[in-house]
Chain A
Amino acid sequence: MSLFNIKDQSLLSRLKNDNKEAFIEAYDLYVDQIYRFVFFKVGSKEEAEDITSAVFLKTWNHIQETDKLVEKTLKALLYRIARNTIIDHYRKKKELSDISIDAEDSDFDLPDGSQDIEAKIQLDSEIEIVHAKLLELKDEYREIIMMRYINEMSIEEVATILEKSKGNIRVLTHRALKALNELVGVDEKK
């Protein structure tokens, strides 16, 4: 973990110095987890790809334009920008659909990427249940479970990205997991 942090720090400082090779290294290092994070939220492969691409470009520009970064690690910065980009993405999508005359495209608010995810993973029945219930969880819990258990981020990392205290993240993680467990349990009893 500490070794990873050193790598992150050296990448960040090189990026600050306009180093383009460092950008490619950062891309190779983080593209999968950022893509996964985005995909988890937007649910479609094409959108996730576009947003992921935009996240890296925005991150580069942000580092070049900002003298003093709030984020201490490149990872935290990437996730923060990813979250903001996703929010922007939904906002635009909503505006478009509001203007659009035919409102048949009504699945904009929550990602229903089950088909795409199913395509990616050889789902057994249990995974299918977990996945279904995960989609029923509220956004906040789903995001925390995503970051803590799928992208395996530390409480500290999640805390900095979500701008919350570590204690708060601990509590949220616990509640999210409990909620998911309950949802799966209810399903099993049926």
Chain B
Amino acid sequence: MNEKDILKKLNSYKAIKADKTWKKENRQVLFNQIMNSSSGNEADFSFAKIANAFKIYSDTFYNGIVKRMGQPVLLTSMIVLVVLGGGVMSIDASRDATPGDSLYIAKKISEKTKFALTFSEKKKAQLNVSFAENRAKEIAQVMADEKPETEKQEIVERLTGDFKKEISNVKNRIEKIAKEVKETEENVEVIETEESLEENIFTANLGKGDEGLSIESEVEVVELAEEDLAEELAQEEETEVELEDEELVELAEETDTEGASSSDAVEEEAVETNSQEMLSEVRELIESDDFDATLEKLDAVSVSLDKEIESGEVKGVEESLEDETISSEVVEEAATSTEEN
């Protein structure tokens, strides 16, 4: 017998199996025992389960968070989260606050923060417009509130003051931007003409140089080229300067006429439209960089708000509320479109 034979013989041991009836009976016995043991556990369910749950909780909590509290990165990030999260949430809650509400101060602070974090003048102007829009909304809300008339009047007055402040801020900002834009436009013109001049000189030089090389000796070429250059430069400068002047005059005329026509249109419109609609137009005008017209419009807006508040109080709460909400929607739309740009 070799190893293979032995292994074959060993295979026959596989025939050894537990008795079938015993297996069946034993299975039932075991199953019953398990059921009993676990039903016993269920009796003192409350303690065991709670203790177990607490164990799992404390394990994961301790291992997962408390242990890592010692690590500065997690600690700082959690503090940052609490601070920022808290800030964001409270500002969110304060969004619909009106003067007199405890959260109104949070709203104001969030507006100021937003403003402080904005650096472009154009965006600042847009923020001022949206703040003005907020004031307008608040006026509508206050008017809808069930409060004594005198109290309402006080708040509305205060809000109107704020509104006008915002509008004048927008105005100042727009004036500033308009000035800057004009200056830079002029600068750009000048730089462009200078650049084109240089280009011409360069090409002239090259052309002459090539010709010279093909025909004459080097020295002569240089002399000739210099002469030519001098002549050409003189000519070109003259024409360029002339051109420049002409262009500037034309440009100035264009801007003048544009400004005049648009401001005329604004004045005509101002009589009819209300302040909120005008605000939305203001936004559009800022968008299209038409600053003169924007300024005109802004004046009209504050005038019409005064009128509206007067007439609104006379007309009654509901009508003015409608006006305010509709117009604020329009303003919002305008705001989103500016953001897209």
Binding site for B on A (CB under 8 A): 18, 20, 23-24, 27-28, 31-32, 35-36, 39-40, 45, 48-49, 52-53, 56-57, 60-61, 117, 120-121, 126-127, 129-131, 134, 145-146, 149-150, 177, 180-181, 184-185, 188
Q: Please state if A20 and B34 are interface contacts (CB–CB under 8 Å).
A: yes
* Residues in chain B near residue A18, CB distance under 8 A: 38
- Contacts A36-B13, A149-B7, A150-B13; is A27 near B18 (CB within 8 Å)? no
- Contacts A18-B38, A20-B31, A121-B15; is A149 near B26 (CB within 8 Å)? no
Q: Scan residues 1-45 of chain B and give those whose CB is less than 8 A from a CB of chain A.
A: 1-3, 5-7, 9-19, 22-23, 26-27, 29-31, 33-35, 37-38
* Residues in chain B near residue A45, CB distance under 8 A: 19
Q: Please state if A35 and B17 are interface contacts (CB–CB under 8 Å).
A: yes
Question: How many Å from the CB of A121 to the closest CB on chain B?
Answer: 6
Q: Please state if B30 and A57 are interface contacts (CB–CB under 8 Å).
A: yes
Question: How many Å from the CB of A179 to the closest CB on chain B?
Answer: 11
- Contact for B23 among A31, A39, A117, A130, CB less than 8 A: A31
- Contact for B6 among A49, A56, A181, CB less than 8 A: A181
B22 nearest in chain A by CB position: A49
- Contact for A49 among B5, B26, B27, B33, CB less than 8 A: B26
A137 to B17, CA, bound (A): 22
* Residues in chain A near residue B38, CB distance under 8 A: 18, 20
Question: How many Å from the CB of B96 to the closest CB on chain A?
Answer: 49
Q: Please state if B16 and A39 are interface contacts (CB–CB under 8 Å).
A: yes
Residue with the greatest number of chain A CB neighbours at <10 A, chosen from B1, B10, B13, B27: B13
Q: Please state if A117 and B9 are interface contacts (CB–CB under 8 Å).
A: no
A49 to B29, CA, bound (A): 13
- Contact for B1 among A24, A36, A131, A188, CB less than 8 A: A188
- Contacts A130-B10, A149-B10; is A35 near B30 (CB within 8 Å)? no
A23 to B2, CA, bound (A): 42
Q: Please state if A61 and B37 are interface contacts (CB–CB under 8 Å).
A: yes
- Contacts A49-B26, A56-B30, A180-B6; is A117 near B35 (CB within 8 Å)? no
Question: How many Å from the CB of A49 to the closest CB on chain B?
Answer: 6
- Contacts A49-B18, A126-B1; is A184 near B6 (CB within 8 Å)? yes
A32 to B2, CA, bound (A): 29
Q: Please state if B37 and A53 are interface contacts (CB–CB under 8 Å).
A: no
Q: Please state if B27 and A27 are interface contacts (CB–CB under 8 Å).
A: yes
A127 to B31, CA, bound (A): 37
> What per-residue 1/0 map shows which CB atoms of B300-312 lie under 8 Å from chain A?
0000000000000
* Residues in chain A near residue B22, CB distance under 8 A: 49
A84 to B12, CA, bound (A): 26
Question: How many Å from the CB of A118 to the closest CB on chain B?
Answer: 11
Question: How many Å from the CB of B288 to the closest CB on chain A?
Answer: 67
* Residues in chain B near residue A126, CB distance under 8 A: 1, 5, 9
Q: Please state if B9 and A120 are interface contacts (CB–CB under 8 Å).
A: no
* Residues in chain A near residue B10, CB distance under 8 A: 130, 134, 145, 149-150
Residue with the greatest number of chain A CB neighbours at <10 A, chosen from B6, B26, B38: B6
* Residues in chain A near residue B26, CB distance under 8 A: 31, 49, 52-53
Question: How many Å from the CB of B21 to the closest CB on chain A?
Answer: 11
Sample of 19 more A-B contacts, CB < 8 Å, known A18-B38, A36-B13, A52-B18 = A20-B34, A20-B38, A23-B31, A27-B30, A28-B27, A36-B18, A49-B22, A56-B30, A57-B34, A60-B30, A120-B16, A126-B9, A130-B1, A130-B9, A130-B10, A149-B11, A150-B11, A177-B7, A181-B1
- Contacts A49-B18, A120-B16, A149-B7; is A23 near B30 (CB within 8 Å)? yes
* Residues in chain A near residue B3, CB distance under 8 A: 177, 181
